[in-house]
């Protein structure tokens, strides 16, 4: 994927896979490269797996971030953009969800994201030169518009869009819609989907904010509107020209009826708004999936 990214952007990107928990390797990397800011995307992200293996999630997500912050501090790197998640809100008490909503994640994955937000705040309080942007992603989907970079989950996809795309391309027989008895317009779950290209722009806006404003921010990255599972399927059928067979199944444990962001803080502070709609998201997922039916 990195080779494709370099080819697309013309950028020279050095790819050094390392485990964040490996302090020595991190230190060596930061000692050698001139780093102004770190964008920290690394983490485990499967809700179900986190319930089965909580220690792995805390060790990897929280432990990895502590090692990263320690290494950054040792090398004078004092800006961080962190991939947090809307999952920190838990079951929403009100919609749209503002940043000051109660924080009650319902699984170890979500709790690991919230713990990291707390440790970032404590670290920033102890070191006035350190600043961070914690970006609470809603539901990122989509692909690079070239069709060359996309989501290629291992095994059976957990998330809606990769599953729908693999049904449309003929790899999977039918979508199971988890629940059609929610209190939503058509009974299926509603989420705030956001195009990965918009999400990428959100990170650039956050880096720019940290360099201009010199203080930290925690904000939602979402479009501010929800689509039901059935609306997403219809949009995908329009974008792909393929039928997506589906069947209704029981609710998935831990799912909420509806979740969508109040995105006004990101608009006011970062000057960022999601620009791409559900049709663009589905079109780009389909371009990636149809051009890369077997993934990378
Ligand atoms: N869904 C189906 N069938 C599937 C997969 C999903 O009906 O095969 C439904 C879900 O029930 C839900 C919607 O599609 O209503 C979206 O489900 P996803 O799994 O794509 O996304 P989630 O909202 O469950 O979770 C995502 C991220 C999490 C993050 C969370 C934040 O995957 O990492 O958003 O709210 F924590």
Q: Respond yes or no on whether the N-terminal peptide bond of residue 96 is cis (omega within 30° of 0).
A: yes
- Residues 51-61 have a mean pLDDT of 97
**208-257 pLDDT, tens per residue?**
999 999 899 999 999 999 999 999 999 999 999 999 999 999 999 889 99
Contacts of 18 by beta carbon, 8 Å cutoff, 6+ apart: 25, 26, 29
Among all chains, which residue has been given the structure tokens 């670290």?
123
Report how far residue 279's alpha carbon sits from residue 287's, in angstroms, rounded to the nearest whole number: 12
Mention every residue, 6+ apart, whose C-beta is less than 8 A from residue 68. Answer: 20, 26, 38, 40, 80
Q: Which residue has the higher pLDDT, 33 or 190?
A: 190
Question: Do residues 88 and 110 touch, judged by C-beta distance below 8 A?
Answer: yes
As a dihedral over the C-alpha atoms of residue 248, residue 254, residue 260, residue 264, rounded to 10 degrees, the angle is -170
User: 41, 174, 228, 229: which to mutate for ligand 1, most atoms within 8 A of CB?
Assistant: 229
Which position has the token pair 């999977």? 172
Angle between helices 64-74 and 23-32 (to 10 degrees): 40
Query: Which region among 14-28, 33-47, 50-64 has the lowest average model confidence (pLDDT)?
Result: 14-28
Nearest CA to ligand 1 atom 12: 189
Atom of ligand 1 nearest to the CA of 228: 15
Candidate from 252, 260, 282 with most ligand 1 atoms within 8 A of CB, to mutate: 252
Closest-CA residue, ligand 1 atom 20, reads: 159
Alpha carbons within 13 angstroms on the beta-carbon side of residue 30 total 22
Q: Which of 178, 184, 190, 244 best tests ligand 1's pocket when mutated (most atoms within 8 Å of CB)?
A: 178
Span 273-282, mean pLDDT? 98
The mean per-residue pLDDT over the stretch 170-193 comes to 97
Domains (ranges, CATH) in the chain? 1-137 (3.40.50.720), 143-192+225-296 (3.90.25.10)
What tokens appear for 204 in the block?
A: 């650039």
Query: How far, in Å, CA of 66 to CA of 117, rounded?
Result: 11
How many A from CA of 120 to the centre of ligand 1? 27
Low-confidence winner among 9-18, 121-130, 179-188, 260-269 (lowest mean pLDDT): 9-18
Ligand 1, atom nearest to 161 Cα:
20
Where residue 17 falls (left for φ over 0; alpha for ψ -120 to 50; beta otherwise) is beta
Number of H helices, E strands in the chain: 11, 11
Q: pLDDT-based confidence at 295, cuts 50/70/90?
A: confident
d(CA 20, CA 8): 27
- pTM summary value: 0.95
Q: Which residues are catalytically annotated?
A: 109
CA–CA separation, 155 and 171 (whole Å): 11
Cβ atoms of residues 192 and 222 within 8 Å: yes
Q: Please give all residues whose beta carbon lies within 6 A of any atom in ligand 1, as ranges.
A: 45, 85-87, 139, 158-160, 163, 175-178, 189, 191, 229, 252, 255, 259
Q: Which atom of ligand 1 is the closest one to the Cα of 229?
A: 14
Contacts of residue 124, defined as CB under 8 A and 6 or more positions apart, other chains included, come to 130, 131, 132, 216
Q: Give me the percent of the chain exceeding a pLDDT of 90.
A: 89
Measured from the CA of 190, which atom of ligand 1 is nearest?
Answer: 15
> Residue with the nearest Cα to atom 31 of ligand 1?
87
Q: What is the spatial distance between Cα 44 and Cα 110, in angstroms, rounded to a whole number?
A: 11
Measure Cα distances from 71 to 9, 20, 42, 119, 207 in Å: 29, 10, 15, 15, 19
pLDDT at 170 over 90: yes
């Amino acid at each position: 994927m990195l080779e494709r990214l370099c080819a697309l952007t013309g950028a020279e990107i050095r790819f050094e896979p390392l485990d964040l928990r490996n302090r020595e390797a991190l230190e060596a990397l930061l000692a050698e490269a001139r780093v102004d800011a770190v964008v920290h995307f690394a983490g485990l992200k499967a809700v179900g797996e986190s319930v089965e293996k909580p220690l792995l999630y805390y060790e990897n997500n929280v432990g990895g971030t502590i090692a990263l912050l320690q290494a950054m501090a040792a090398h004078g790197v004092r800006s961080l953009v962190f991939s947090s998640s809307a999952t920190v809100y838990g079951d929403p008490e009100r919609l749209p969800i503002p940043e000051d909503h109660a924080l009650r994640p319902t699984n170890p994955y979500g709790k690991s994201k919230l713990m990291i937000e707390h440790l970032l705040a404590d670290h920033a309080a102890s070191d006035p030169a350190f600043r961070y942007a914690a970006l609470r992603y809603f539901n990122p989907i989509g692909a690079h518009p070239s069709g060359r970079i996309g989501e290629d989950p291992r095994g059976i996809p957990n998330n809606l869009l990769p599953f729908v795309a693999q049904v449309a391309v003929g790899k999977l027989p039918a979508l199971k819609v988890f629940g059609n008895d929610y209190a939503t317009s058509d009974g299926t779950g509603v989420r705030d989907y956001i195009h990965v290209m918009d999400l990428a722009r959100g990170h650039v806006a956050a880096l720019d904010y940290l360099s201009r404003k010199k203080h930290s921010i925690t904000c939602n990255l979402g479009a501010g509107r929800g689509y039901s599972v059935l609306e997403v399927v219809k949009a995908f059928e329009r974008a792909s020209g393929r039928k997506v067979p589906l069947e209704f199944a029981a609710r998935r444990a831990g799912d909420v009826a509806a979740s969508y962001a109040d995105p006004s803080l990101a608009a006011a502070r970062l000057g960022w708004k999601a620009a791409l709609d559900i049709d663009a998201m589905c079109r780009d997922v389909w371009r990636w999936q149809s051009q890369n039916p077997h993934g990378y």
